[in-house]
Structures are given as structure tokens and as C-alpha cells.
């Protein structure tokens, strides 16, 4: 089955070792990620708790001051309920109470009518139409109100009110203590990884009204997460949460200062480096670095211990395969034992191949020598046979017998010429057929005493094996012997062509009309040339056709090329 994936058959040794180590370290990497994520969550939780505590600590003084003012207002109201004296005695008491709260901007008794005449500042002010006064007197109970612009002090104040009752228990007025309210700035916080600085600090009432802010109200809305407005912040009192936007990580903290008063702060992280443990990707750094180190180590180890030796051995093998030149493999003694053994086997194979090649060259040389001798002796034997046949021809008196002997002698001499040409070309397995046929034609023309201009030849270069060459030469001799036997040949009356196209060789010989190639010749001696040519064509796995032309007949022999073996 074909392998797929990271460890495919085309991957290198270094890659395979590296991925093996990665898979082996996978459980450790998963455990490291889980532990790092747990540490990151613990760090985040401790950061939220620290920021929430730091924010509350920054407003703790204001909280304590409001509580002290509430206790003082209750005591002052109680004293007036027992002995309500307006005028100088009331003013004196107000100033005495103000002395206990140095930060208070106003301590006053305001009757239900709204005209303030008893105050620590000796100020007289009519609160009759003031919405905050109406809110303080709407219900006979203590309250805390906020005014971004106090009518008496002219600054942001927190109003502490407590109802005053007469002896019959009827409310006659309220005690009002105004405390200055200023924006507080918590100190920067360092969680061991990064610095957290307060980015936006605002004071928000329970209905979402922003009293004081280090930025504009709209800017506060823009700083908050989508879908969260200032009116929803009181619901988050006492909590801190991480927020993430395009600018980075933030912490939103909401702290309750007093009833219906909240301090909202958004903290910006100073450092968000890639390697910080607080980074969301931090849990994956250590496993990633471990796996990268494993890949590098595997690649280096495989390269130094195995790959470079294998590559050197591969280059030596490739060079020997390409050019039969042996390249010495360097530092093979420092290679692992398996590679040293592989190198020894390679050297032994090379020595065996060289020895066998030498023996094979000797065998080929002996074979070529034998082939030359066979061709030489075959040519000589055919010459002897032709000489014997000439002896019988000289003694023969039958003209028909003389004609048959002449025809046989000519064919034997043509075949002898073929073997002589093969003897000259001995040692080559791809014989140039065109050269052999040219020699055969010349010899046949000399035997038949054909005029020089009676035949024109056009032989393309075609290379075939020796066996094919002999058969084609016999076919040419048979066809030309029939044409050359014509008593009178006109100039250019015989045409011979040898061509090759798409792996097929075509031999075409045109000449005058002769009985041997006529369609009506099927029996007798005249039919022998045609029958012989068909037999030769079958040996070549080809075909032969006798086609009539305007001036005579054409013999077409076609056969596929058989590739000669390489030397």
C-alpha cells in the first residue's frame, strides 16, 4: 500500500527522525501546555484580585470619610432633636462638628423650608428649589447624594444627610454635611510579568451618571466593551475582568465607594511582549521550542552521523553508474558500522562488476573474432561454390541449364559479396544496410555487365542487425538478377530506393516487365524468384508486393526495424 503523510517515501532521514521525536514528545508537550495554561489562569486570577484590591485601597480613605460623616450627621441630628436652637447656638454647634471633620466643606442644618441659616461657613442659602435638597427631604431617612458642583463650595461634593425630628417625632429639617469628592488614581501594579497602569478612572452613580472622570463621558463609553454602558457598571461592583481589543489586554474594575456610588477603572497593560507568560500563546512556546529543538537536533545528528556518509556513498555510486569512475568516499571510517558495512558491500560489488565486465569484453572480442572468421569463411565457401558451378556451366550443353546455372552463380556471388561486406564491418552490431546493399548492387552490375547509367540508387542510412542485412541483401540480389537479365536496358530504366519511416524500412526496386514478377506467373522456374522473395519477407516479419508501373513492374519490400543490441 502506498504510504502518505509526513513520513512519506520521499521524505529525508532527518525529517523522519525529527517527526519521530515530535511524536515521542507529544504527551510531554500536551502536559506542558496544560500546566502552562493553568499557571496562566492562576496568574490572571491573582492579577484581577490584586487590581481590585488596589483600586479599593485607593478609595478606602474616601469610604472611611463618608462613614465618619454619616456617624457625625446622625449624632448632630440627635443633639438638635433634643434642643433645637436656631441662630448663634446652632451655628456654634455646626462649627464644632465641622472641626471634627477638617475636610468637610459644609456642615449645616437646613429646615424643611430650604432656607439655610445655620452652617459652619456662616453662609445663608435657599435650597428650596434645589433638586438634591428635595431628594434629601423626600423621605425621612439618612441618604447620600452627589453633586458635581456644590452650590456653596463650588466643587464636586458628596452630600451626607440625616433627618432632624422635633419632640413629637415630626421631621423639621435635615443635617447636611458636604464632603469634597476628588478623582483618585490607584498606584501602578506589577504582576511580575507586566506593569498595569490605570487608563480610565471614573465615578459613576447607580443610575449610570458619570460624576468625575479622567476622560470625557463619551470616551468612557468608547473605552468600555461593546454592549456595556455606564448604567450597567453598578451591576459589576466588586468584580474585575479581562478585556481584549485591538489595543491589547485590559482589566475593567468596578469598586463600590458607598451606597449608590462606584469607582470604575480600566487598566492598560504596559508590556505585551511575545515571550511574556501572560501572552495567550505563552502555553505553546515551550512545547514549540522543544519540538523545534528536537527537529534541529535530529536534523544535525542525522546529517553528521548518517546523511553525509550516505550522500557521499550515493555520489560515488552515481558517478560510477554514469561514467564508470570510482570516487573515494571520504571519512567512511567515522561512519556508523552499518554504513561501513554498506560501503564494503558496494566496493565488493564494484570489483565484481569490473571483473565480470572484463570477462564479458573478452567474450565479446572472441565473439567478434569468430564472427569475422565465419563471415570470411562463408564468403570463401560461397566463392568456391560459385567456381564449382562455373565448371559445370562450361561443361553443360543445354541452354536452359546454362541459364539456370548462370542465375544461381550470380546469386551466390551476390551473397558472397554480402558476407565480404559483413567481414569488413565486423565488430559492429548495427550494420549500415545502405552500405552493404550498395556493395551488392555494384557487384551484381559487374557480373551482369550492366551499363553505368542503366540504374539509379537512392539509399538512406538505415542501421539493422547482421541477420536482417543478409536477408535483405538476398532479396535485392534476387530482384536485381531478374531485372539485369533483360538483354537491353535503357539508361535509368531501373530505380532502387531504401527509406525508413516510423520504424518501418521500405525497399523499392522498379524495372522493366519480367515474367518472374508478373501476376500470371504462378508455376515453373519463372515463379521461383517471387516465391523466394515472399519467403524472405516472412523471415523479416514484413511483406512484399509486385506493383505494375507505366514502364514495367516495381518490387516493394517493407519490414519493421529490429533494434540492434548495444555493444
Model confidence at 566, in pLDDT bands (50, 70, 90)? Answer: very low
Model confidence at 564, in pLDDT bands (50, 70, 90)? Answer: very low
**More confidently predicted of 202 and 434:** 434
Domain boundary among 321, 351, 381: 351
Domain identity same for 396 and 514: yes
Domain identity same for 517 and 395: yes
Domain count, the chain: 3
Cα 503 to Cα 101, 428, 466, 516, 548: the distances in Å are 119, 20, 17, 30, 26
Residue 449 φ/ψ, nearest 5 degrees: 55, 50
Domain identity same for 333 and 370: no
Is residue 64 in some structural domain?
Answer: no
Domain identity same for 511 and 540: yes
3-state helix, strand, coil in the chain (%, to 5): 50, 20, 30
Contact partners, residue 228, CB within 8 Å, separation at least 6: none
Q: What is the pTM of this model?
A: 0.42
Buried b (16+ CB within 10 A) or exposed e, 33-55: beebeeebeebbeebbebbbebb
The enclosing domain of 505 has a CATH number of: 3.30.565.10
Domain identity same for 501 and 374: yes
* Calpha distance 68→131 (Å, rounded): 25
Q: What is the pLDDT of residues 136-162, one digit of tens each?
A: 788 888 887 777 676 766 677 788 888
Domain identity same for 385 and 472: yes
Mean pLDDT in residue range 394-403: 76
* Calpha distance 46→121 (Å, rounded): 47
Is residue 208 in some structural domain?
Answer: no
Domain identity same for 430 and 387: yes
Is residue 25 in some structural domain?
Answer: no
Strands 455-459, 261-269: pairing is unpaired
Q: What is the pLDDT of residues 54-66, one digit of tens each?
A: 777 777 777 788 8
Q: Of the ranges 164-168, 401-405, 457-461, which one carries the lowest mean pLDDT score?
A: 401-405
Is residue 60 in some structural domain?
Answer: no
Domain identity same for 407 and 329: no
Rounded (10°) CA dihedral 362, 363, 364, 366? 90
Mean pLDDT in residue range 100-114: 85
Which domain, by its residues, includes 173?
83-178
Orientation angle between helical segments 282-302 and 26-82, nearest 10 degrees: 160
Q: Is the pLDDT of residue 337 over 50?
A: yes
Matching residue, cell 543490441:
565
Q: Of the ranges 187-191, 270-274, 318-322, 529-533, which one carries the lowest mean pLDDT score?
A: 270-274
Model confidence at 559, in pLDDT bands (50, 70, 90)? Answer: very high
Domain identity same for 455 and 483: yes
Contact partners, residue 309, CB within 8 Å, separation at least 6: 329, 331, 332, 334, 335, 336, 339
Q: Is the pLDDT of residue 195 over 70?
A: no
Strand ranges inside 57-188, DSSP E: 106-111, 115-116, 118-119, 125-126, 143-147, 157-165, 171-180
Q: Is the pLDDT of residue 103 over 70?
A: yes
Q: Is the pLDDT of residue 436 over 50?
A: yes
**Identity of the highest mean pLDDT range in 79-83, 226-230, 384-388:** 384-388
Amino acid at each position: 500500500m502506498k504510504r502518505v503523510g509526513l513520513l512519506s517515501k520521499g521524505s529525508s532521514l532527518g525529517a523522519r527522525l525529527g517527526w519521530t521525536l515530535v511524536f515521542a514528545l507529544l504527551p510531554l508537550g500536551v502536559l506542558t501546555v496544560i500546566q502552562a495554561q493553568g499557571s496562566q489562569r492562576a496568574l490572571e486570577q491573582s492579577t484581577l484580585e490584586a487590581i481590585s484590591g488596589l483600586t479599593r485601597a485607593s478609595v478606602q480613605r474616601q469610604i472611611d470619610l463618608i462613614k465618619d460623616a454619616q456617624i457625625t450627621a446622625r449624632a448632630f441630628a440627635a443633639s438638635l432633636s433634643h434642643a433645637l436652637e436656631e441662630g448663634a447656638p446652632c451655628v456654634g454647634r455646626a462649627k464644632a462638628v465641622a472641626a471634627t471633620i477638617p475636610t468637610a466643606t459644609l456642615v449645616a442644618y437646613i429646615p424643611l423650608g430650604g432656607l439655610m441659616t445655620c452652617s459652619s461657613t456662616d453662609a445663608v442659602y435657599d435650597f428650596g428649589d434645589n433638586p438634591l435638597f428635595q431628594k434629601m427631604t423626600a423621605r425621612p431617612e439618612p441618604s447620600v447624594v452627589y453633586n458635581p458642583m456644590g452650590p456653596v463650595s463650588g466643587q464636586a461634593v458628596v452630600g451626607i444627610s440625616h433627618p432632624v425630628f422635633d419632640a413629637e417625632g415630626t421631621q423639621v429639617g435635615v443635617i447636611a454635611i458636604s464632603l469634597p469628592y476628588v478623582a483618585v488614581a490607584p498606584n501602578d501594579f506589577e504582576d511580575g510579568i507586566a506593569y498595569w497602569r490605570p487608563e480610565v478612572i471614573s465615578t459613576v452613580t447607580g443610575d449610570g451618571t458619570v460624576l468625575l472622570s479622567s476622560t470625557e463621558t463619551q470616551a468612557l463609553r468608547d473605552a468600555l466593551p461593546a454592549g456595556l454602558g455606564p448604567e450597567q457598571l453598578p451591576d459589576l461592583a466588586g468584580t474585575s475582568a479581562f478585556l481584549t481589543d485591538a489595543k491589547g489586554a485590559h482589566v475593567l474594575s468596578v469598586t463600590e465607594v458607598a451606597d449608590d456610588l462606584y469607582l470604575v477603572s480600566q487598566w492598560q497593560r504596559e508590556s505585551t511582549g511575545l515571550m511574556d507568560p501572560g501572552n495567550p500563546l505563552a502555553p505553546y512556546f515551550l512545547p514549540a521550542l522543544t519540538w523545534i529543538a528536537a527537529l534541529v537536533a535530529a536534523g544535525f545528528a542525522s546529517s553528521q552521523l548518517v546523511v553525509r556518509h550516505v550522500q557521499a556513498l550515493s555520489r560515488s555510486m552515481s558517478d560510477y553508474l554514469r561514467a564508470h569512475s570510482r570516487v573515494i568516499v571520504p571519512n567512511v571510517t567515522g561512519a556508523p558500522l552499518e554504513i561501513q558495512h554498506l560501503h564494503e558491500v558496494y566496493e565488493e560489488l564494484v570489483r565484481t562488476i569490473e571483473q565480470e565486465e572484463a570477462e564479458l569484453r573478452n567474450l565479446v572480442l572472441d565473439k567478434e573474432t569468430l564472427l569475422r572468421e565465419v563471415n570470411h569463411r562463408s564468403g570463401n565457401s560461397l566463392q568456391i561454390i560459385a567456381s564449382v558451378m562455373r565448371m559445370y556451366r562450361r561443361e553443360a550443353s543445354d541452354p536452359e541449364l546454362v541459364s539456370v546455372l548462370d542465375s544461381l552463380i550470380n546469386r551466390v556471388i551476390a551473397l558472397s559479396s554480402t558476407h565480404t561486406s559483413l567481414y569488413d564491418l565486423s565488430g559492429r552490431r548495427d550494420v549500415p544496410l545502405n552500405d552493404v546493399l550498395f556493395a551488392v548492387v555494384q557487384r551484381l552490375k559487374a557480373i551482369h555487365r550492366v551499363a553505368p547509367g542503366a540504374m539509379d540508387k537512392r539509399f538512406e542510412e538505415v542501421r539493422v542487425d547482421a541477420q536482417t542485412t543478409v536477408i535483405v541483401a538476398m532479396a535485392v540480389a534476387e530482384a536485381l538478377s531478374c531485372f539485369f537479365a533483360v538483354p537491353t536496358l535503357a539508361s535509368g530504366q531501373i530505380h532502387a530506393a531504401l527509406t525508413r519511416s516510423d520504424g518501418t524500412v521500405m525497399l523499392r526496386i522498379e524495372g522493366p516487365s519480367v515474367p518472374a514478377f508478373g501476376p500470371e506467373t504462378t508455376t515453373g522456374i519463372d515463379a521461383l524468384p517471387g516465391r523466394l522473395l515472399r519467403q524472405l519477407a516472412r523471415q523479416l516479419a514484413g511483406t512484399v508486393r509486385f506493383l505494375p508501373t507505366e514502364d514495367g513492374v516495381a518490387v516493394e519490400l517493407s519490414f519493421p526495424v529490429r533494434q540492434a543490441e548495444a555493444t
